[in-house]
Every structure is written in structure tokens, then in C-alpha cells.
A and B are shown apart, each in its own frame.
Chain A
């Protein structure tokens, strides 16, 4: 069974601080997607990474896919209260180079940024 473990589960920081959340597995994934979910809403896609070692930036958010495609990290620089939310990673199960298949989700990191 493929599992994605996210850490930390909860994170409470002050505005302006930097943070990193992690998504780890013992299995290889064809892709890794990061979502943000607000209460009562569906996951909203932030980024998709596909290539081992890939780094993508989205304003103050930096996403990295591990070289072996088993882990990923999300780094937020100078966090703001608007960054508060649940951050989910999800691994694509399909064969590399082929179909993505279904997504396996982590339990998420609940981030709270205090002003």
C-alpha cells in the first residue's frame, strides 16, 4: 500500500516567519500535486511536479520534488495570515511516462499564521 506521510500535522507561526512542510513516502510516484483546502471546500490545486529534483515557485511558495520521486516539500517565505489553511500533498500513482492514475493523499498540514 502506498502511503504519503505529511509533517508536521499542525503548524502555528507568526506573520513573517518562514516554514517548510514535508511529504514523504517509501514509494515512487509519477507526479506530486500540492493542494490547499479551506473548510467546507474542495482541494484547490497549487502545483504539479513531475520530474525528480524539480523545483517550482509560486510567488512566496517553493515546491520541490525529491530526486527519487518519493518525497516533496513546500516552503513558504514570509508567511502571511492569508496563507492559513490545510495543505495537502497527493501522489499520482500511474506508471511513469504513462497514465497518472488516481491520487493518493496525505492527511495534510494545518497551517495557522497569526498576525
Chain B
């Protein structure tokens, strides 16, 4: 069964450095999402992306964050200058369409640790 894949599985970075988290959504999916989960807390929405532009973003997704679909398969999340509080699991998800009955399929996440 097709799945969403994320790399790396674990990223350790010094505070203030830039990080890029990578995702390969399911190939025929058109809507892409990033969520994060701080340890012990609920999964939180960051941003959704469709037709090469952001369709919605949360208040967490400030100017330090950006997303890009650089080619036909990858979907990336960049954090420009990381902070300690950015430490979390970051999940990429995709859905075939944006319709209400279309489920979002999640990758296994990237654990981001900021030192």
C-alpha cells in the first residue's frame, strides 16, 4: 500500500541553524500538510499546501517556517532559525483531494531535537 515517507527520521540541530525536513507524499495525492507534536502534547496543524501554494496556515507557522514542493515528488518544511521550542515530532500528511471524506495519510515523522 502506498505510504508517505519522511526523512530524516531524527534530526539534531544547534539552535539558530536552519533545518529542512523532507517528505514524499503518496504519488496521486494533491493536498499536503505538515503537523507537529511536542512531546506529551496533541498533534497540531502547521500548514496545508495545494496547487503549489499555501492554502491555510496556523499561528504556529510564522515567518521562520516555509514550505516548498521543489519537484514532482518532494514536499519540504524549512525552519529558518531554529529555537529550542521547535523541538518536536514533525509529521507530513497527504490526501488525494481536499474533500470532507478524503482521509489524510501520515508519515512516520521526523524527530527534531534543537540543542
Residues of A within 8 A of B (CB): 30-31, 33, 35, 40-45, 48, 50, 88, 90, 92, 94, 96-108
Contact = CB atoms under 8 A, between A and B. Distances in A.
A103 B98 CA distance: 11
A27 to B, nearest CB: 15
A88 B103 CA distance: 14
A44 B43 CA distance: 13
Interface in B86-104: 91, 93, 95, 98-104
Contacts of A102: 33, 45, 48, 56, 58
Nearest to B10: A40
A52 B35 CA distance: 27
B100 A94 contact: yes
B110 to A, nearest CB: 10
Interface of B: 4, 6, 33, 35, 41-45, 48, 56, 58, 91, 93, 95, 98-109
B64 to A, nearest CB: 19
- 3 closest Cβ pairs, A-B complex: A42-B106, A102-B45, A105-B43
Contacts of A30: 100
27 contacts: A30-B100, A31-B100, A33-B103, A40-B109, A41-B109, A42-B4, A42-B106, A43-B43, A43-B91, A43-B106, A44-B106, A48-B101, A50-B100, A50-B101, A88-B43, A94-B98, A96-B100, A97-B100, A98-B100, A99-B98, A99-B100, A100-B95, A100-B100, A102-B58, A103-B45, A105-B35, A106-B42
A43 B108 CA distance: 8
A101 B56 contact: yes
A31 B99 CA distance: 10
A31 B103 CA distance: 9
Interface hub of A48, A96, A106 (most chain B Cβ within 10 A)? A48
Contact of A41 (B41, B58, B100, B108): B108
